Structure 1
Amino acid sequence: MLIDIFHDTVCPWCRIGKKHLFDALAKWQEQEVHIRWHPFLLDDTVPAEGYEFRNFMQNRKGIKAEELQHLFDYTQREGEAAGVKLDFEKIRLAVNTKLAHQLIALAPTNIKNDVVEAIYRAYFEEGLNIGDINVIVAIGTAYQMNATELKLQLNDRDVVDAVVAESAFARLNGINSVPFFIMNNQVKVNGSHSVEVFLEALNSTALLDIPAKI
């Protein structure tokens, strides 16, 4: 089975949805599953140096500081229920996620899922600036990617353009929010639903017996 995942690496609901899907897959185990990760840039206008996180989020959502805190508290509780940590007190910067998505694109298939999780962990648990090339290279080298080669690839305009183009393509094809999951090019799950919802989607996809176009 092929599962396409559209996400952004600063989206807490994407991390929660990823956890729910992978928990469902651990229970399911009916078929071999191939995961494809796709970038969805929530805000590509954020500069390389980033913005102060809380002010940015207040302006983006048009809410007051106390409302934002309530939102963070709720999201953090949902993360805890799913089994992931979302430490909004650690996050200092709203960042541009192009570099993070470039690293995911460049990571070999056998470590790609781990690299995705490492990026989420760096941002939501350690409060690191995942828009900083040194942070991204450090994540890659932790999974045995070559630092010198990786820096060259991350500075390659073609790699950057591919991430931007893929994100734009998703929007042109009707994906307006993330996380968004497509199973075997047919069954769609929009949002960070429960493990049970993902299990139902997996079973529905298997029953359709649609060949995966990998």
Structure 2
Amino acid sequence: MRLEIWADVVCPWAYIGKRRVERALAARGGEPVEVVWRPYRIDPTAPERARPLDGLLRDPFVDTALRACAPHLSPEQNRVRVAEVAAAEGFPRWGAAWHVSPHGAHRLLYLAEREGGPALQGAVAEEVMRIHFVEAGDIGSAEVLERAADRAGFADGGRLLRAGEGDREVRELLLRGRARGVRTSPTLLVGDLALEGARHPEEIGVFLDRAGERPARSLPAEVERLHLAEALVEKDPLGALALLEPLLAEYGDDRGVRLAAARARLRSAQVGRARRDLEALVAERPDDSHARLMLASALRRGGEPEAAAVQQRLAEALG
């Protein structure tokens, strides 16, 4: 069984959740569980260069972003609760000092899994969060991240980060998480079964038992990518196009891929390109009422209401 932890390494509940997952796994027998870390961002606006966290926590915008870390608590309640829970979990001290983007840290975690597998990735996650929450270090610093990698036994981590590796892959993973409905940190996923928040070990154990009872299902990689892109079209059409890009390059003649791309272009205001795509799709399949409806929308938005009305009537006649 593969357990994915979708989390932001600057979210305190991610570190507490890590401890609780470890306790749940230690108490559980049966099928071995492989744990992998996946990126999530609670504050996409966090700066690349760290700023002192003291004072920023009173910023309403930052407080709003932090609600994604504990959606059922106010930010102030969350901070008090986190300190109490961290003490109960046995952390020697607690308190992040920096407001900073976790993108570099997420790249390091991705590279650790790529180069050394889930065990190395877990060790890197531990060191990164220890530095951020216990040692009050700046994990936006390349030197600090290299120190975390060295502590975890990932000797090449610093070199790979300096080479810029992992950037595109982490950005795609963020899109995949959004398409799969990840909306808080941490979120545990086994297949399509999700558990949100840093739950107690007993709850995590029940979740894993339930996940283990479900038949494992897997789709071909290109089909999964298409499904994820389609799930993003309405809420993030540019993200959907980013996921579709490899499919368009390799399966550019596939009608499903082309329809998904046309929908995403239409939703992202690329009306002219969407219209050309849809005109070609309708010419190939005149009986495709869905493509005609989208073409009608593209024509309306392009300032051609009469042509749009024709396509609308044809689509309705086709049912």
> What TM-score range do you get, normalising by the shorter chain?
0.7 to 0.9
Correspondence for 1:77 among 78, 84, 101: 84
Aligned to 1:131: 140
1:102 pairs with 2:107: yes
Q: TM-score, normalised by structure 2?
A: 0.59
The CA distance in 1 between the partners of 2:92 and 2:206, in whole Å, is 26
How far did 1:48 drift?
2.3
The CA distance in 2 between the partners of 1:114 and 1:165, in whole Å, is 23
1:115 pairs with 2:115: no
* Larger Rg, first or second structure (1 or 2): 2
**Which AA in structure 2 matches 1:50?**
A
Cα 1:30–1:209 shift into 2, 3 Å: farther
1:189 pairs with 2:198: no
Q: 2:6 touches 2:185 (CA, 8 Å); kept in 1?
A: yes
Q: Name the % identity.
A: 21
The Cα offsets for residues 116-142 of structure 1, whole Å up to 9 and x where unpaired, read as 111111111000000100000011122
Q: 2:6 touches 2:187 (CA, 8 Å); kept in 1?
A: yes
Q: TM-score, normalised by structure 1?
A: 0.85
How far did 1:21 drift?
1.4
Cα 1:127–1:192 shift into 2, 3 Å: same
Aligned to 2:162: 155
How far did 1:85 drift?
5.0
Aligned to 1:204: 210
The CA distance in 2 between the partners of 1:145 and 1:182, in whole Å, is 26
The CA distance in 2 between the partners of 1:155 and 1:212, in whole Å, is 35
The Cα offsets for residues 134-192 of structure 1, whole Å up to 9 and x where unpaired, read as 0000111223333xx43342134451122122113212332111100012x03211111
Aligned residues: 204
Q: 1:38 touches 1:166 (CA, 8 Å); kept in 2?
A: yes
Unaligned runs of 5+ in 1: none
Q: 1:4 touches 1:35 (CA, 8 Å); kept in 2?
A: yes
Aligned to 1:29: 29
1:14 pairs with 2:14: yes
The CA distance in 1 between the partners of 2:83 and 2:148, in whole Å, is 24
Aligned to 2:69: none
The SS at the match of 2:54 is helix
**Which AA in structure 2 matches 1:175?**
V
Q: 2:149 touches 2:158 (CA, 8 Å); kept in 1?
A: no
The CA distance in 2 between the partners of 1:86 and 1:167, in whole Å, is 30
The SS at the match of 2:211 is helix
**Which AA in structure 1 matches 2:211?**
T
Aligned to 2:46: 46
The structure carrying a bigger helix percent of its residues is 2
The CA distance in 1 between the partners of 2:193 and 2:78, in whole Å, is 30
1:92 pairs with 2:87: no
How far did 1:55 drift?
2.4
Cα 1:158–1:118 shift into 2, 3 Å: closer
**Which AA in structure 2 matches 1:53?**
L
Q: 2:109 touches 2:125 (CA, 8 Å); kept in 1?
A: yes
The SS at the match of 2:10 is coil
Q: 1:16 touches 1:84 (CA, 8 Å); kept in 2?
A: no
Q: 1:19 touches 1:84 (CA, 8 Å); kept in 2?
A: no
The CA distance in 2 between the partners of 1:145 and 1:210, in whole Å, is 32
The CA distance in 1 between the partners of 2:147 and 2:6, in whole Å, is 24
1:169 pairs with 2:196: no
**Which AA in structure 1 matches 2:123?**
D
The range that moved more, 130-139 or 186-195, is 186-195
The SS at the match of 2:3 is strand
**Which AA in structure 1 matches 2:207?**
A
